[in-house]
Amino acid sequence: MPQRRRAATPAPVFAALGDELRLRLLARLGRGEPMSISRLTTGSGISRQGVTKHLRVLAGAGLVRSSRQGKESLWRLERRRLEEARRSLDLISRQWDESLSKLKMFVESDRSD
Amino acid sequence: MPQRRRAATPAPVFAALGDELRLRLLARLGRGEPMSISRLTTGSGISRQGVTKHLRVLAGAGLVRSSRQGKESLWRLERRRLEEARRSLDLISRQWDESLSKLKMFVESDRSD
DNA sequence: GCTATAGGCAACCAAGGGGTTGCGTATCGG
DNA sequence: CCGATACGCAACCCCTTGGTTGCCTATAGC
């Protein structure tokens, strides 16, 4: 039975997405074909170790996954987390919608917390 | 750093979302009712200035907006940016989908960049 | 007027992040 | 076996960030 874990906080995922270079890496990996580190390094503008660090951040957030293949490690996108993140944004956004319609109905119901 | 073509990169938005406390602030603001800084501070666990800093980060990313009202400044959610961010995730995720189906069709088409 | 409340500004500090370099190890191809 | 390639580990550096505190201004209410 696949354990449906309660979704952890999406903050780390967003933090991982909050970097221009990491977004570019994701976009490249988003083409579907797994890529090696050196391949991802060419055109990135930073050193190989820099790319490695970024990849590990992405992996830490569960956005990518790597598998050693011979002398190179291939990285591919992990789409599940992207969708989870998208749902998180939906949640806030939609909550906003519902609050608006509730406001229209009840006009006022202040809850000081 | 020279900005390549894309005018609005979603990275700063994600970076702003990449913090637990900021997400909580957004969630509270997501209820629809504008809130003052002191109000948002109660229960946040940090000082008022800390909350102010976080709010400014969110504002810098265009996720919230404030308006001074008397002696307090009221903050409300800016939903447009949330939807933009959601669309950005869609883009990567969907690109992945398309790449997969393309791979199935063309089997191989390597582009070394 | 006086006082309490809401907030801004600035300085300060510890910790983390992004980037680098140097060096070591494993793999591939002759 | 030898060299080139692909990668990991660790140290280092600088700048940003998250958080604080102290002090000042402005508004509200009596």
| Banded pLDDT at B87 (limits 50, 70, 90) | confident
Yes or no, beta carbons of A93 and B86 under 8 Å apart: yes
What is the C-alpha separation between A84 and A76, in angstroms, rounded?
17
Q: Which nucleotides of C are covered by protein (CB under 7 A)?
A: 5-11, 17-22, 26-28
Decide: B17 and A11 in contact? Cβ < 8 Å.
yes
Q: Sort out which chain B residues have CB atoms less than 8 A from A106's CB and list them.
A: none
List chain B residues with CB under 8 Å of A13.
Answer: 18
- Encode pLDDT of A58-109 as tens digits: 999 999 999 999 999 999 999 888 888 888 888 877 776 665 555 444 443 3
Distance from the B7 Cα atom to the nearest Cα atom in chain A, whole angstroms: 12
Contacts of B82 in chain A (CB under 8 A): 89, 92-93, 96
Q: Does the distance separating the beta carbons of B30 and A95 come in below 8 Å? A: yes
CB-based burial label for B58 (10 Å; 0-12, 13-18, 19+): buried
Least confident of A17-31, A95-109, B17-31: A95-109
> Span B29-54, mean pLDDT?
94
Closest CB to A93 among B39, B79, B93: B79
pTM: 0.81
pLDDT at A39: 97
